[in-house]
Structure 1
Amino acid sequence: MQQVFKGADKVFEESHFEENNFIKKTYSYLSDDHSGIYDNVIHICFNLDCKYFHQLGVTVTSVLENNPQFRFVFHVFIDSIADADVAKVQQVIEKYKCDFHIYIMQMEPFSHFHLRNKRYSHVGYFRVYMPKILRKFTKKYLYIDADMICVNSLQPFLDIDLQGKPIACVSDFPDAVEARAAFLKLKSGKYFNAGMMWVDVEEWEKQKITEHCFEYIDMDPNCFTAHDQDVLNLVFDGNYVLLPKIFNYMGGIGVKIQKDIIIYHFFGRIKPWDVCLTDYDKVWRKYCKISFWDTIEDPLPPRESKYYADFKFAGEYYQKQGDYLQAFKCYLIYSVLKIKLKLSLEKS
């Protein structure tokens, strides 16, 4: 008799979570010297909207450049992929002798999770399904967002004692923890950032984390607003190992290079492929230049309405640096673009 899992207004049999219900097609691109299981292999997973494959390419390059002692297997869960990106993946494999498995996902199973607005995508929910696939490959894997770069060895991940917990992760900012834990009524009072997770596949499966996440489909959108990150926090509610922030360092405008950071996270709306101002923005651009994806030269984005907030950020940065003329220029562009955006929205 199959086990049954009940969601908000649906009942799932265990067979619902079978691979063919979630994955359209799998493409495996393996290095020529692939020869089975290695003691020093690390599996890394991503979920991705296809239009951000460039950013994933930079993240992957940063991992490979900083970890020549490891063999890597990358698992990319994505909605679709362009031929040009496949060609670049094959170049990465040739240079670094790594493997890629690319999973083209069915969107329908995730479409019942709510989204706050059209700026977001259901691809973020792919991460709750990953262990169902990764259990065929490994006992543990690293999940990271594509707006991160690796700036150090990943060896410390292999030394983590998970203490029987399904994941290790990093707490969100204190104010976010207080607000989100209260809003979600989390008994633990804890709230983690889901951009990085070190996952014990066996424990995840034993505790049926995927199944519990799907209990939140079709729920009232007011019950949670931070999408998959809220869902994961609702399910785990403190049942994880908290790591030092160097494992998922969420920096800001004034952060200088720090030698102990392992993964740097460009959280929020301002991204280094749009604006290159801070030390870590420049590090991202460095790995972009090393990668097989297009180099981005201009430190500021195009003067288009959708980038108005980036120019405000740039103005604040230049003001803090004492470059008042450049700050004034950015604030002026910000004001013009914001007005243009408002007018265009009124017309529509």
Structure 2
Amino acid sequence: MRCPIVLACDRRYAMPLATTLRSIVDAARSSEPFEFHVLVDGLSERIRRRIFASLPHGSASIRWIEVDLETFRGFSTLSYISKATYARLLIPRIFPDSVSKVLYLDSDVLVLDDLRALLATDLEGNVVGAVLDGLDSELKTQTLRLPVPRVQDYFNGGVLLIDLRQWRRAKISEAALEYLKRCPGSPFSDQDALNVACDGLWKRLDSRWNHLAYNEKLDVSELAGEHKPSIVHFTTWRKPWRAEASNANAALYDSFRSRTRFPRNSMDKMEDALRIGWSRIRAFQEARRGKSTRPGDMVDR
């Protein structure tokens, strides 16, 4: 079954992209090569070759698609999220009508199981298949203070199985852009916009297809049974490749990264050690400041 896989990347996310792609092919239980389409913003030819060389010979093809993000310059993102995230709104433009379905993945995921069961999912006439986001319960109980749009159910946009024909028919990209023009500072940017555009038009997928790793202290490799994830999505700024984040999944992530052409070298390890040391110093200083300003510790002068 032909189902292209689409990702987006800029210079900052070259290594994570290579790691995500490597995890996909390593988890496959079939020798059939994957078809990757990568939406890029300013990624050099040298880096593109390095990413492709990170994959076993014959395991995949990569089509690089340079995109113009100028349309999205006025829209905000969180500091750790690349502007390339908006590129997924352009997906319907890059495929002919003969391609009916694609899978979009963020570049901060690890794939731990064969994707073909997900790719074969029947969307039953819905525009997209996605996993419910953790924000959904906060929206429903009205405990979330951020101005996230109120929708029937709020999904995470990091893994999207897209029916291109239904997407085009419902004018999802147009509706998302219209929302962003009205609310350019929406806290979760294009994810908020897609939730508004797809409200009531999406199918809920099993959470194993987008395990949202909010808790950086939880080692996902220890999860088993029905809790074992097929795709792990590192959603916060505490990415496992950032040494100062002290993420419990750093070793798991590095086990995939080390198979790419972007392994951690001696300089990386030295820089990591310095970052860890500096983050600990800052944490100690902040703790000391916190203690010194407690009412009981204050002294009249």
Taking structure 2 as the reference length, the TM-score comes to: 0.79
Q: What residue in structure 2 maps to residue 246 of structure 1?
A: 208
Structure 2 letter corresponding to 1:146 = S
Q: 1:162 to 1:119 in 2, by over 3 A?
A: closer
Shift of 1:94: 6.1
Shift of 1:101: 1.0
Would the aligned equivalents of 1:135 and 1:202 in 2 still touch at CA under 8 Å?
Answer: no
Q: Residue 115 of structure 2 is aligned with which of 145, 151, 154?
A: 154
Q: What residue in structure 2 maps to residue 3 of structure 1?
A: none
Q: What residue in structure 2 maps to residue 281 of structure 1?
A: 250
**Aligned partners of 2:62, 2:27: CA distance in 1, in Å?**
18
Would the aligned equivalents of 1:186 and 1:237 in 2 still touch at CA under 8 Å?
Answer: no
Deviation string, structure 1 residues 292-336 (Cα, Å, up to 9, x no partner): 22336749835459x97xx4xxxxxxxxxxxxxxxxxx3x34345
Q: Residue 196 of structure 1 is aligned with which of 159, 171, 196?
A: 159
User: Counterparts of 1:44-55 in structure 2 under 5 Å?
Assistant: 44-55=5-16
**Aligned partners of 1:196, 1:239: CA distance in 2, in Å?**
16
Shift of 1:244: 1.6
Would the aligned equivalents of 1:66 and 1:150 in 2 still touch at CA under 8 Å?
Answer: yes
Structure 2 letter corresponding to 1:80 = G
Q: What residue in structure 2 maps to residue 65 of structure 1?
A: 26
Alignment of 1:294 onto 2:256: no
Task: Give unmatched runs, 5+ long, in structure 2.
Answer: 289-301
Identical aligned pairs, as a percentage? 21
Deviation string, structure 1 residues 165-211 (Cα, Å, up to 9, x no partner): 010000111444435699455351x1111111011111111111111
Deviation string, structure 1 residues 266-300 (Cα, Å, up to 9, x no partner): 11010111138555332211000111223367498
Structure 2 letter corresponding to 1:197 = L
**Aligned partners of 2:40, 2:96: CA distance in 1, in Å?**
19
3-state SS in 1 of match to 2:239: coil
Would the aligned equivalents of 1:177 and 1:192 in 2 still touch at CA under 8 Å?
Answer: no
**Aligned partners of 1:182, 1:143: CA distance in 2, in Å?**
26
Higher RCO (Cα < 8 Å, 6 or more apart): 2
Q: 1:176 to 1:75 in 2, by over 3 A?
A: farther
Taking structure 1 as the reference length, the TM-score comes to: 0.70
Would the aligned equivalents of 1:67 and 1:153 in 2 still touch at CA under 8 Å?
Answer: yes
Q: What residue in structure 2 maps to residue 323 of structure 1?
A: none
Structure 2 letter corresponding to 1:290 = R
Would the aligned equivalents of 1:50 and 1:81 in 2 still touch at CA under 8 Å?
Answer: yes
**Aligned partners of 1:176, 1:50: CA distance in 2, in Å?**
34
Q: What residue in structure 1 maps to residue 299 of structure 2?
A: none
Shift of 1:254: 2.2
Shift of 1:155: 2.3
Aligned-residue CA RMSD (Å): 3.1
User: Counterparts of 1:259-274 in structure 2 under 5 Å?
Assistant: 259=224, 260-274=228-242
3-state SS in 2 of match to 1:161: coil
More off after superposition, 41-50 vs 280-289? 41-50
User: Counterparts of 1:4-153 in structure 2 under 5 Å?
Assistant: 39=1, 41-69=2-30, 70-92=32-54, 95-112=57-74, 114-115=75-76, 120-135=81-96, 138-153=99-114
Question: May I ask how many residue pairs the two structures share in their alignment?
Answer: 275
Task: Give unmatched runs, 5+ long, in structure 1.
Answer: 1-38, 312-329, 340-348
**Aligned partners of 1:221, 1:338: CA distance in 2, in Å?**
36
Shift of 1:107: 2.2
Structure 1 letter corresponding to 2:157 = A
Q: 1:159 to 1:74 in 2, by over 3 A?
A: closer
Would the aligned equivalents of 2:180 and 2:189 in 1 still touch at CA under 8 Å?
Answer: no
Shift of 1:231: 0.6
**Aligned partners of 1:269, 1:182: CA distance in 2, in Å?**
17
Would the aligned equivalents of 2:8 and 2:85 in 1 still touch at CA under 8 Å?
Answer: yes
